[in-house]
C-alpha cells in the first residue's frame, strides 16, 4: 500500500470510530490493526501488539507520569493547594487580589503538578465560590480560573512537555526549563488581562475585599511545602542529580510527608488520591499503549517521512508551514484533548517541523501553548467543563467560554512573542548547559 493510502485510511478509520463513540485508546488500536495485518499474519500481529503495549507499561521514563499525577492529586486532596490561594488572596491588599491570587496559586500549583485539569479543579474549587461571594463578575471569575489551570502545563513539571519529549526523543529536562520564562511571561500577561478587565468593566471587581490575614505559621505551612517540592524537582533534574523519573519519585514521597504533616491530609484523602491516580493512569496507560501501536504502523509505512517530503516539495516558507501546523492544532483542539492529539498527530508533525528548520525544544513550548488553547476552546475544552461543574450551576458554560476569550488572546500573543524572539524559550536551556 502507498503511504498516502495508509495515512488517509488510518485517519478516516480513526475519525469514524471516534465518531460512533468508541473511546480514543480503543479507536487508535482498532484503526491500527487492519494495516498491521497487511504486514503480519494475524497470530504474529497479536504477539507484536502485546510486546508493543507491554513495552510502554514497563518504560522507565514513563514511570514519571503516574508519579507526577499522584503528586498533584495529593496536593489537591490536602490543604496545600487551597491554602496557597488563601495566602495569595489574603496576603496582598489591592483591588482584584482574589483574581491575582488565583493566577498566582495556579502558577504555584503548576510548579509542582503538570496537569491542567487538576490545577483548575484544585484551585478553582476553593477560589470560584470565594470570588463569587466577594462580588466578582461570573465571566471574570470563571475565565481566570479556567485559563489559570493552563499554567500547569507550561511551568515545569508539565505532563504535555513530558509526553512531547517521549514522542520526539528530546531532552525532558531541556523542555521543562524551556517552559519557565514563557510560563512567567504568561503569568504576567494574565495579570495584565485582569487589570485591563477591571478598567473596562469595573463592576466585575469589588472595590474592597474583606479577608482575615494569615498568621506567620500558616504562611510558612502554606508557602513552604510548595517551595520545597518545586525546589526538589528543579534542582534534582537541572543539577543532574536525578532523572525526571527519580525526581518525581522523591518529590512524590516528600509530598506524602508534607501533605500528612502540614497539609491536613487524612487516610481517606490519601486513598482517594491513589484511586484518582489509578483511574487517570488507566486511561493514560491505554492511550500510551494504543498510541505506540498507531505510531508503529505509521513509521513502518514511512508516513511521517513521506508526508514531510511531500509538504516540503511545495517549497513553502518555514513560517507558512508553522502557521498551517498551528492552525491545524487549534482547530483539532476543539474536538480532541491534548494527550490524544500528542500521540495521534505528533509522530507525523514533528519531522516536518524539524525539516522546516525549527528547533524542536522551541517547538515543544509553542506546541504546549497551542495545547493550552485547546483546553479552553469548545466544544471539548476540558477546563471549561471543570469550572462550570464546580460552580454548581452558578455559572453557565457560555459565561465560562466568554470569560476565557481575553486569556486565549494572551496565549496567542505569547506564541507571536516566541516566534519573533525564539530566545524566550531557548536562552535558559542554553545557559543551563
Q: What's the CA gap between 323 and 134, in Å, rounded? A: 42
The mean per-residue pLDDT over the stretch 156-185 comes to: 89
Q: Is residue 170 part of a domain?
A: yes
Q: What pLDDT, on the 0 to 100 scale, is given for residue 107?
A: 83
Do residues 164 and 174 make contact, with C-beta atoms less than 8 angstroms apart?
no
Q: What's the CA gap between 321 and 397, in Å, rounded? A: 34
pLDDT in tens, 212-261: 566 666 667 677 788 888 888 888 887 778 888 898 899 899 989 988 98
pLDDT band at residue 197 under the 50/70/90 scheme: very high
pLDDT in tens, 295-316: 888 888 888 888 888 888 888 8
Q: Is residue 342 part of a domain?
A: yes
Q: What pLDDT, on the 0 to 100 scale, is given for residue 331?
A: 85
Q: Pull the grid cell for residue 121.
A: 479543579
Q: What pLDDT, on the 0 to 100 scale, is given for residue 214?
A: 61
DSSP letter assigned to residue 211 = -
Residue 399 to residues 132, 388, 392, Cα–Cα distance (Å): 13, 9, 14
Q: What pLDDT, on the 0 to 100 scale, is given for residue 316?
A: 85
The mean per-residue pLDDT over the stretch 196-214 comes to: 78
The mean per-residue pLDDT over the stretch 316-328 comes to: 91
Do residues 383 and 127 make contact, with C-beta atoms less than 8 angstroms apart?
no
Q: Is residue 320 part of a domain?
A: yes
Q: What pLDDT, on the 0 to 100 scale, is given for residue 135?
A: 85
Q: Is residue 7 part of a domain?
A: no
Q: What's the CA gap between 288 and 284, in Å, rounded? A: 6
Q: Is residue 250 part of a domain?
A: yes
In terms of Cα–Cα distance, which of 264, 339, 335, 296 is closest to 62?
339
| Residue 87, pLDDT above cutoff 80 | no
Q: What's the CA gap between 343 and 337, in Å, rounded? A: 11
Q: Is residue 263 part of a domain?
A: yes
Least confident interval from 73-87, 149-163, 370-384: 73-87
Mean pLDDT of the chain: 84
Cα R_g (the chain), whole angstroms = 22
Q: Is residue 224 part of a domain?
A: yes
Domain extent for 278: 63-283+306-432
Q: Pull the grid cell for residue 20.
A: 460512533
State the residue for C-alpha cell 489559570.
148
| Residue 198, pLDDT above cutoff 70 | yes
| Residue 118, pLDDT above cutoff 80 | no
Structure pTM?
0.84
| 206 backbone dihedrals φ, ψ, rounded to 5° | -65, 150
| Long-range CB contact pairs, 23-29, < 8 A, 24+ | 23/286, 24/287, 24/290, 24/336, 24/340, 25/283, 25/286, 25/287, 25/289, 25/290, 26/286, 26/290, 27/290, 28/287, 28/290, 28/291, 28/293, 28/294, 28/343, 28/344, 29/289, 29/290, 29/293, 29/294
Q: What pLDDT, on the 0 to 100 scale, is given for residue 308?
A: 84
The mean per-residue pLDDT over the stretch 264-274 comes to: 90
Residue 240 to residues 11, 169, 362, 430, Cα–Cα distance (Å): 41, 18, 21, 15
Least confident interval from 35-44, 46-55, 325-334: 46-55
Residue 45 to residues 40, 58, 169, 312, Cα–Cα distance (Å): 6, 20, 26, 34
Q: What pLDDT, on the 0 to 100 scale, is given for residue 5?
A: 86
Q: Is residue 289 part of a domain?
A: no
Number of domains in the chain: 1
Backbone conformation region of residue 185, classed left if phi is above 0, alpha if psi is from -120 to 50, else beta? alpha
| Residue 358, pLDDT above cutoff 90 | yes
The mean per-residue pLDDT over the stretch 377-402 comes to: 82
Amino acid at each position: 500500500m502507498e503511504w498516502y493510502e495508509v495515512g488517509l485510511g488510518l485517519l478516516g478509520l480513526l475519525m469514524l470510530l471516534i465518531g460512533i463513540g468508541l473511546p480514543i485508546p480503543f479507536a487508535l488500536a482498532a484503526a491500527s490493526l487492519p494495516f498491521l495485518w497487511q504486514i503480519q499474519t494475524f497470530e504474529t500481529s497479536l504477539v507484536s501488539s502485546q510486546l508493543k503495549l507491554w513495552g510502554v507499561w514497563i518504560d522507565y521514563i514513563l514511570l514519571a507520569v503516574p508519579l507526577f499525577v499522584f503528586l498533584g492529586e495529593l496536593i489537591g486532596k490536602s490543604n496545600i493547594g487551597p491554602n496557597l490561594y488563601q495566602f495569595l488572596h489574603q496576603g496582598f491588599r489591592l483591588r482584584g487580589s482574589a483574581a491575582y491570587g488565583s493566577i498566582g496559586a495556579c502558577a504555584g500549583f503548576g510548579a509542582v503538578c503538570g496537569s491542567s485539569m487538576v490545577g483548575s479543579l484544585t484551585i478553582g474549587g476553593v477560589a470560584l465560590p470565594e470570588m463569587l461571594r466577594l462580588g466578582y463578575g461570573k465571566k471574570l471569575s470563571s475565565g481566570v480560573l479556567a485559563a489559570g489551570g493552563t499554567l500547569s502545563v507550561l511551568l515545569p513539571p508539565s505532563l504535555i512537555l513530558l509526553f512531547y519529549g517521549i514522542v520526539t526523543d528530546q531532552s525532558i529536562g531541556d523542555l521543562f526549563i524551556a517552559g519557565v520564562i514563557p510560563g512567567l511571561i504568561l503569568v504576567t500577561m494574565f495579570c495584565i488581562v485582569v487589570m485591563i478587565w477591571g478598567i473596562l468593566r469595573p463592576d466585575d471587581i469589588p472595590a474592597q475585599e474583606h479577608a482575615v490575614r494569615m498568621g506567620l505559621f500558616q504562611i510558612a505551612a502554606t508557602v513552604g511545602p510548595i517551595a520545597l517540592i518545586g525546589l526538589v524537582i528543579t534542582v534534582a533534574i537541572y543539577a543532574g542529580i536525578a532523572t525526571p523519573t527519580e525526581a518525581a519519585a522523591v518529590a512524590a514521597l516528600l509530598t506524602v510527608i508534607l501533605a500528612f504533616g502540614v497539609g491536613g491530609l487524612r487516610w481517606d484523602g490519601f486513598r482517594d488520591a491513589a484511586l484518582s491516580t489509578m483511574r487517570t493512569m488507566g486511561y493514560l496507560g491505554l492511550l500510551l499503549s494504543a498510541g505506540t501501536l498507531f505510531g508503529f504502523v505509521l513509521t513502518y509505512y514511512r508516513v511521517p517521512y513521506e508526508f514531510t517530503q511531500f509538504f516540503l516539495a511545495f517549497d513553502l516558507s518555514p513560517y507558512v508551514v508553522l502557521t498551517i501546523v498551528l492552525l491545524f492544532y487549534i482547530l483539532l483542539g476543539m474536538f480532541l484533548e491534548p494527550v490524544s492529539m500528542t500521540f495521534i498527530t505528533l509522530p507525523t508533525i514533528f519531522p516536518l517541523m524539524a525539516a522546516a528548520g525549527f528547533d524542536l525544544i522551541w517547538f515543544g513550548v509553542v506546541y504546549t501553548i497551542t495545547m493550552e488553547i485547546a483546553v479552553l476552546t469548545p466544544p471539548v475544552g476540558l477546563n471549561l467543563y471543570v469550572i462550570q461543574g464546580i460552580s454548581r450551576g452558578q455559572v453557565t458554560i457560555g459565561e465560562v467560554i466568554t470569560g476565557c476569550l481575553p486569556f486565549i488572546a494572551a496565549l496567542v500573543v505569547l506564541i507571536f512573542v516566541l516566534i519573533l524572539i525564539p530566545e524566550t524559550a531557548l536562552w535558559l536551556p542554553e545557559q543551563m548547559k
